[in-house]
Amino acid sequence: MKQTFSAYNIIQKKRDKEKLTKDEISWFIEGLTSGEIADYQMSALLMAIYLNGFDKDETIAITDAMLYSGKVLNFSEQIYIDKHSTGGVGDKTSFIVAPLAAACGVKVPMIAGRGLGHTGGTVDKIESIKGFKTEISLDDFVKLLKERGVVLIGQTSEIAPADKKIYALRDVTATIESIPLITASIMSKKLAEGAKGIVMDIKTGNGAFMAKLSDAKKLAESIRQTGLRFDKNMMTIISDMSEPLGNAVGNSLEIIESIETLKSRGPTDLTELSLSLAGGMIYLAGLAKSHKDGIVKAQTVLDSGAALEKFRELIDHQGGDSRVIDDYTLLPQTQSTYEVKAQKNGFVTKMDCKALGMHCVRLGGGRQKTSDVIDFAVGFIMNKKLGDKVKKGEVLATIHCHDSQMAIAKEIGEAMTKKDITIAATKLRSKKKLIIEVQTKFATKTKTKTKKR
Ligand code: URA
């Protein structure tokens, strides 16, 4: 360490609402990475940041320090674009978006995460395909990307190791929901992948970490600003997460729904958001005149089947059994299902999306503690969505569970009908928009495009 500060003084400064300097922040993060700063000191600083915030300069400084705590890749061509989501329930867009963009010529370096709390993880889901390798060295990642155009791997210890430590501490110190800390966590990893542009899907609603739209907007702004300071082209899409995206929740079930979507038979909300995200990637890559033009191009490769073939190639190149595309029985499946039936006539007006996500975790589809092993087969299908008309006795959701889990499925079914899925006599006046806001900023251009829908 070049200059020596005092961890105590830095924590005290932030506790007393003072601004930290770039040098103080990078000294602290370097110390954490090398083991010279104790976890309890980092935890105290995290709580001070959570309570008193970080301004734009401090957010850039912590992102920079976390980014350079590990290896940093840098691709020089504009066509290297990634997409990332802040996390949600049933959010499986990566499996559709990456092949759509890659089939249009975008190079997609995707380093994804595992499930977190009530939200599912891309890496867990893809691992339900037998043989699919998500642990690849960074050198092989670059080689595969250059040759094949799309790679999907899990977080490696070579990328932003400071985030790994900080994330684990935030998880147990109630400091997750902080805009500067989420920005630094996501952006340090995304920037290290070396993509020239990033499309960020920022979720809002009761199934998202940023439940309030005003907070989602602040997070989008913070992420865009940070990306621009690192010379990246940025698109932020704020999308609704007040119900699961698509119908399937659970690892194998979500892979099947993604393949169905690539076969043009997917749910409309999932298809719409995937096309928008892929269209954004194609636009940022310079392969479309506008976001709208990017969406048209993505639709073309969806219709032609080229994106489905890209997904097949991706599975093949990463050692997975691509026969799952034509034969879903090759994916882990449960022996039983349990139907959750409506208790009355009416319209679905509200869902507790976070609670629904937690039901999947309870069945074994997510982790309650880090050592838990994921059960790829379990989950549920939402047979009804927000705004749908239902009749008493109609199926609201179908739980996929093992024979031994029937009692749990029954309890989950009761929770769904009594608390998590609200049925009211009158229809919602207007259904929430799925895509709430799109903003694009090019690093080299000053023009901002905002689209509110
Ligand atoms: N995803 C991340 O990687 N980090 C956060 O802080 C939140 C979501």
Q: Is the pLDDT of residue 217 over 60?
A: yes
CATH superfamily, domain 7-53, is Transferase, Pyrimidine Nucleoside Phosphorylase; Chain C (1.20.970.10)
Q: What's the topology of domain 334-424?
A: Aldehyde Oxidoreductase; domain 3 (3.90.1170)
The tokens for 212 are 């309030």
Q: Which residue has the higher pLDDT, 446 or 320?
A: 320
pLDDT digits (tens, 9 = 90+) for 117-141: 788 889 999 999 999 999 999 999 9
- Mode of pairing for the β-strands spanning 435-441 and 233-240: antiparallel
What does the pLDDT read at residue 25?
98
pLDDT digits (tens, 9 = 90+) for 139-167: 999 999 999 999 999 888 899 999 989 98
Degrees (nearest 5) of the Cα angle 279, 328, 364? 90
Pick the atom of ligand 1 nearest to 86's CA.
8
Please state, in angstroms and rounded to a whole number, the distance separating the CA atoms of residues 255 and 242.
Answer: 21
Percentage of the chain modeled with pLDDT above 90: 86
Ligand 1 pocket test target in 156, 172, 186 with most atoms within 8 Å of CB? 186
pLDDT digits (tens, 9 = 90+) for 218-253: 999 999 999 999 999 999 999 999 999 999 999 999
Structure confidence at residue 446 as a pLDDT band (50, 70, 90):
very low
- Mode of pairing for the β-strands spanning 336-341 and 395-401: antiparallel
What does the pLDDT read at residue 172?
84
Can you name the residues that pair with 151 across neighbouring β-strands? 109
- 114 contact partners, CB below 8 Å, separation of at least 6: 121, 123, 124, 154, 155, 367
- 342 contact partners, CB below 8 Å, separation of at least 6: 384, 390, 391, 392, 393, 394, 395, 396, 417, 423
The tokens for 372 are 């838990």
The finding on whether 379 has its CB within 6 A of some atom of ligand 1 is no
Task: Delimit the domains of the chain by residue range.
Answer: 7-53, 81-158+178-327+433-452, 334-424
Collapse the DSSP code of 121 into the 3-class scheme (helix H, G, I; strand E, B; otherwise coil) and give the result: coil
What does the pLDDT read at residue 118?
85
The finding on whether 197 has its CB within 6 A of some atom of ligand 1 is no
pLDDT digits (tens, 9 = 90+) for 390-434: 999 999 999 999 999 999 999 999 999 999 999 999 988 887 899
Please state, in angstroms and rounded to a whole number, the distance separating the CA atoms of residues 445 and 453.
Answer: 24
Return the sign of the alpha-carbon dihedral for residues 216, 160, 361, 129: positive
Residues 414, 396: contact at Cβ < 8 Å?
no
The tokens for 8 are 């105590």
Please state, in angstroms and rounded to a whole number, the distance separating the CA atoms of residues 134 and 152.
Answer: 7
Give the DSSP H or E segment for 184: helix 179-192
pLDDT digits (tens, 9 = 90+) for 283-316: 999 999 999 999 999 999 999 999 999 999 999 9
Name the closest-CA residue to atom 2, ligand 1. 186
Give the DSSP H or E segment for 23: helix 22-34
The tokens for 245 are 């995206």
Tell me, in angstroms, the distance from the centre of ligand 1 to residue 261's CA: 26
The finding on whether 86 has its CB within 6 A of some atom of ligand 1 is yes
What does the pLDDT read at residue 2?
60
Degrees (nearest 5) of the Cα angle 169, 190, 42? 20
**Which single residue is written with the structure tokens 């602040």?**
218
Asked if CATH classification 3.30.930.10 holds for the domain at 81-158+178-327+433-452, the reply, yes or no, is no
What does the pLDDT read at residue 301?
98
What does the pLDDT read at residue 453?
46
Ligand 1 pocket test target in 59, 116, 191 with most atoms within 8 Å of CB? 116
**Over the chain, what is the mean pLDDT?**
94
What does the pLDDT read at residue 156?
85
Q: Is the pLDDT of residue 389 over 60?
A: yes
Q: Is the pLDDT of residue 450 over 60?
A: no
Ligand 1 pocket test target in 119, 176, 193, 202 with most atoms within 8 Å of CB? 176
Return the sign of the alpha-carbon dihedral for residues 188, 258, 382, 351: positive
Q: Is the pLDDT of residue 445 over 70?
A: no
First to last CA, the chain: 49
Q: Is the pLDDT of residue 452 over 70?
A: no
Q: Which residues does the annotation mark as catalytic?
A: 84, 163, 170, 185, 189
- 224 contact partners, CB below 8 Å, separation of at least 6: 200, 234, 236, 439, 441
Kindly give the interhelix angle for 161-172 and 56-67, rounded to the nearest 10 degrees: 120
Can you name the residues that pair with 449 across neighbouring β-strands? 440
Q: Is the pLDDT of residue 447 over 50?
A: no
pLDDT digits (tens, 9 = 90+) for 335-376: 999 999 999 999 999 999 999 999 999 999 998 877 789 999
Q: Is the pLDDT of residue 8 over 90?
A: yes
Tell me, in angstroms, the distance from the centre of ligand 1 to residue 182's CA: 5
The tokens for 223 are 């992420």
Tell me, in angstroms, the distance from the centre of ligand 1 to residue 209's CA: 9
The tokens for 94 are 């990566």
